[in-house]
Amino acid sequence: MLFFLGVLVVVVGVALSIALHEIGHLVPAKKFGVKVTQYMVGFGPTVWSRKRGETEYGIKAIPLGGYVRMIGMLPPRPGDKPGELRTLSTGRFSQMVDQARADSMEEVQPGDEDRVFYKLSPGRKIVIMLGGPVMNLLIGFVLITGVITLYGLPQVAPKVGALSACVPTTAPTVQVPQPTCKPGDPVAPAKAAGLQARDRIVSIDGTAVTTWDQVTTAIRDSKGRTMTWVVQRGDKDVSISITPAVLERATYDAQGEPVAKDGKPVLASMGFAGITPGQELVRTPIAEAPGFVWARVVDTASIIVKIPEKMTGVFQAAFGSEARDPNGPISVVGVGRIGGEVAALDIPADEGGNWVKLAQLVLLIASLNLALFVFNLVPLLPLDGGHVAGAIWEAVKKGWARLRNRPDPGFVDVAKGLPIAYGMSLVLITMSVLLIYADIVKPIKLFG
């Protein structure tokens, strides 16, 4: 039940994000006098619609997209009169372009000639087309800021998260740099000393502890020496003596990869207690929120840039035995599935319970909005960035003509880019189908 509730929250969040994205286009379009005939959320058959003024507002059956229909999105072919339809040419691409022009102009009625999109100034075109992505950015900013400033984010703290059961005696290898327990291995020092999960480490050998790095440094450098720890357990301070084991362990580089030489891991002697760090919520000052969100935008952009090369791994995982990359792309189906897994987590009330799950769902929807913001800025039709690129080029051409005292070059014919748009649409559809299939047959599992 909780799983389906999580999926529902994500679906509603996606639908609302799409609806607000389209409002980002709708409001400036109407403000600048463009005639908008439809505002639709979703694709497929219309479930509900109502006409207010000259615009039909509605919801369609598949909530995976949306659109705002503005008249005159594409200019007529040079030499054609606005509002008139021309006989189609015989070339395949020419036919598609001409049909697109005709569809763009078919709703232009007498009196609407100056209410078409293509006659707007380049600046107004850019404002309209950036309205959608900017709305997604604002949604992501508001949601992330709300979570990190009002609730907080889990950060590593000087407290016990989990306890290892044993001291692994198996030698590390390149393939297995961190060996696991096997029957007969001795009990881990932390477990043997009586440490418990959620104990907060106050001091080690009389030195106050405020970070987890201090704990790991003390354990690593102990060289088997008995250490005196003071931990906070509930409302009491408990003193515990721990004698870390001394093990030969794999070393790691700055990227977190095991260091190897001649096919063998480079080992170093270090102390081992058998604990992993716990986490606690830390609120971020609101003044730091813009920088935090911008860092997430940059991270999202770096992921989107790598999507084409990562699709090979998705294909191999979907149709072979390869595992899914947890940092790879996923579809809306995958996002919904992760939302369900988050909602189904069993988190104790004293660790946040349902509030933790709600915060994670909100951050999931926020991340999706940041992805929509970045993806829609790609300067290719049919994405918003393609129209923005056309408007920028138009502004450059007009500005250059004015500087040289030449006639106005007219509107940039973005229709010439439609063959690329059709190819891009085919690629996007193919990728979406592959991702949806992979998310069904071999989903990414972030929990358990």
Task: Tell me the catalytic residues.
Answer: 22
What is the enclosing helix (H) or strand (E) of 282? strand 275-282
Give the chain's length: 448
How far from the centroid of its chain's Cα atoms is residue 400's Cα?
39
Where helices occur in 221-331 by DSSP H, the ranges are: 289-305, 307-319
Neighbouring-strand partners of residue 46? 60
Side chain identity at residue 142, one-letter code: V
For residues 422 and 25, what is the distance between their CA atoms, to the nearest angstrom?
Answer: 22
Q: CB within 8 A of 243, min separation 6: which ones?
A: 189, 193, 224, 225, 226, 227
Whether 392 and 414 have beta carbons less than 8 Å apart is answered as: no
| Tokens at 304, concatenated | 């989107």
CA distance 398 to 424: 28
From residue 385, alpha-carbon distances to 126, 128, 417 in Å are: 9, 11, 13
Question: Which two three-digit tokens encode residue 79?
Answer: 């030499």
Q: Would strands 264-265 and 260-261 be described as parallel, antiparallel, or unpaired?
A: antiparallel
> Which residue shows structure tokens 């050998």?
205
Q: What do you get for the CA distance between the two ends of the chain, in Å?
A: 18
* C-alpha to C-alpha distance for 419 and 95, rounded to whole angstroms: 11
**Quick check: 33 and 354 in contact, CB under 8 A?**
no
Name 59's bridge partners: 41, 48
